[in-house]
Amino acid sequence: MASQRPVRGTRSRMTMSIRTILPTAVLVLTAPLVALACADGGGAPAAPADDPELVAGRAVYAGNCLPCHGPTGGGGVGPQLNDGRLLANVPDPAEQARIVTEGRKQMPAFGQKLTPDQVAAVVRYTREVVARQ
Ligand code: HEC
């Protein structure tokens, strides 16, 4: 009896360690993929590689706008940006830059967080890429 206890104990410790190691291993293996996906725009539609301002706008979108407006602009907390309504609601890009810089109702102001160049880039990206998928 006494000699069986340590064996049972060892087996349950091994089971425990596999249960602990497996999720950790999965996390360690998938974390770089998740990081890569985020660096890659988090599922936001691709910008033309030969237009650096649109490429920059995509990164700004992925890092700031995507949580509320959705990866492809499908909406969520914020309104849909990929159905043509954006261009109809806000025909003037300068007005959109104002909305992003100063905020509007539930939409936070980004004037402290983004440079004017980043605002200009994300305005172009939403109008020329997200709105025209
Ligand atoms: C915290 C959530 C949130 C974030 C983050 C956010 N927005 Fe918004 N956005 C909103 C909401 C809510 C509205 C609707 C505001 C209103 O009712 O006037 C909105 C409205 C807009 C509009 C006007 C749409 C229209 O059809 O009138 C634009 C353009 C826009 N957001 C762009 C952006 C951009 C670009 C970013 C990133 C720099 C961003 N938003 C980040 C929540 C957000």
How is the chain split into domains, by residue range?
A: 10-39, 41-130
pLDDT at 23: 54
Using a 6 Å cutoff on CB, does residue 91 contact ligand 1?
no
Using a 6 Å cutoff on CB, does residue 54 contact ligand 1?
no
CA distance 110 to 10: 56
Which of 53, 61, 64, 68 maximizes ligand 1 atoms within 8 Å of its Cβ, making it the mutation to test the pocket? 68
Second CATH level (architecture) for the domain 41-130 = Orthogonal Bundle (1.10)
pLDDT at 36: 44
Torsion of CA 29, 33, 36, 42, to 10 degrees: -140
Range list of H helices, the chain? 4-39, 52-60, 66-69, 85-89, 93-102, 116-128
Residues linked to residue 104 through DSSP beta bridges, in sequence order: 107
C-alpha distances in angstroms, 70 versus 11, 16, 107?
47, 39, 14
Per-residue pLDDT of the chain (133 residues; tens, 9 = 90+): 555 565 665 565 656 665 665 555 554 555 544 444 445 689 999 999 999 999 999 999 999 999 999 999 999 999 999 998 999 999 999 999 999 999 999 999 999 999 999 999 999 999 999 999 8
pTM of the model: 0.78
Q: For residue 53, report the phi and psi dihedrals to the nearest 5 degrees.
A: -70, -40
Count CB atoms within 10 A of the CB of residue 94. 9
pLDDT at 41: 85
Atom number, ligand 1, closest to the C-alpha of residue 125: 35
pLDDT at 35: 45
CA distance 52 to 58: 10
Using a 6 Å cutoff on CB, does residue 115 contact ligand 1?
no
